Amino acid sequence: MQRLSENISRSEELKNILKSHGFLRGSLFSIAIVDLKEREPKIFGVNLDEFIYPASVYKIFIGAETLRQIESGAHTLDEKVTVKAPNDVDKDARLFPGSTEPLLKADDEVSIDYLLNLMLTRSDNTASNCLIDLVGRENITTHIINANGWQGSDVTRKFLDRSKEDKKYRFSDTTQTCVRHIAEFFYLVEENKLISSFVSQKLKEYMLKWNREGRKGLSLVDYIFFYRKGGFLENNLYLPLYTSYYKKAGFAFDYAKNIGRLIKTIFTKGWAVIRWAHDAGVITGPNSKYVAVVFTMNKQINPAKKFPMEKLARVVFDYMEKN
């Protein structure tokens, strides 16, 4: 694709607005906007090219390659796939509040359409691992990432011990991407140019059904239309304390070890919780239409402190509605 050029003046304008609201303090923060109302859309934002762990947002690359292979005739949506260990990584249904579909487990036989739906609606990790194995990581990199100039973005299986990975990926870098690449992906989807109209429309169809209670992301009631892919991951050193507290055996040792780790980390690194909270999608408002991609990573001591995503959504929406 022809890469989107940056609107420098709007990048500076947005940066100043976000800075005045305190969004640029004390966190890793990137944002990309593409104003779809422009005759020749350009990209603008803050830290457009800063690579970061994207949590589940990267699953859009997997979805795109899967649909590309379906359109080419290599697979069909109705084709059955058997879930194989160790891909069955989701073990707790509480990961997906609001979803009525059961967890996938080893030896389940399901359709590719079902896997795509789970991956792009509730962000199912087992489904994503199965689809990576089905279509091949090299194909995702060649046909989706590199073909569109998104070099540096990468895909790995989710929540899988590296010792269980394929040999060539056991020591590979972690999954990463940047907001520029994700914004250009959604721009192509909206233009029906990501591979083809079929691939673009199917991706949009799945992402319109996003279903994760408590993960509102950039959602606002003011939107007329919003399809999206969110991403969230938390490393919380307080949680092992709760777990060990309720253990019937080994309580004293576990509790002492976990609280010791917590205190040491707080004093040496200054944090007890690392939280990645991302959202990406296409927003249509009464007077605006735009791609918005936000990546945040926060380190803090207070586990209740969260990035104010709804406040950010409001600031960006008001700005785009006025412009």
Q: What local confidence, expressed as pLDDT, does residue 237 receive?
A: 82
pLDDT bin (cut points 50, 70, 90) of residue 257 is confident
Mean pLDDT of the 18-22 span: 95
Structural domains in the chain, sorted by start: 8-237+272-322 (3.40.710.10)
Q: Which amino acid is at 198?
A: F
Is residue 119 predicted with pLDDT exceeding 60? yes
Is residue 266 predicted with pLDDT exceeding 80? yes
Mean pLDDT of the 274-284 span: 95
pLDDT bin (cut points 50, 70, 90) of residue 174 is low
Is residue 57 predicted with pLDDT exceeding 90? yes
Is residue 167 predicted with pLDDT exceeding 70? no
- 6-10, 81-85, 164-168: segment of lowest average pLDDT: 164-168
Is residue 298 predicted with pLDDT exceeding 70? yes
The pTM assigned to this predicted structure is 0.91
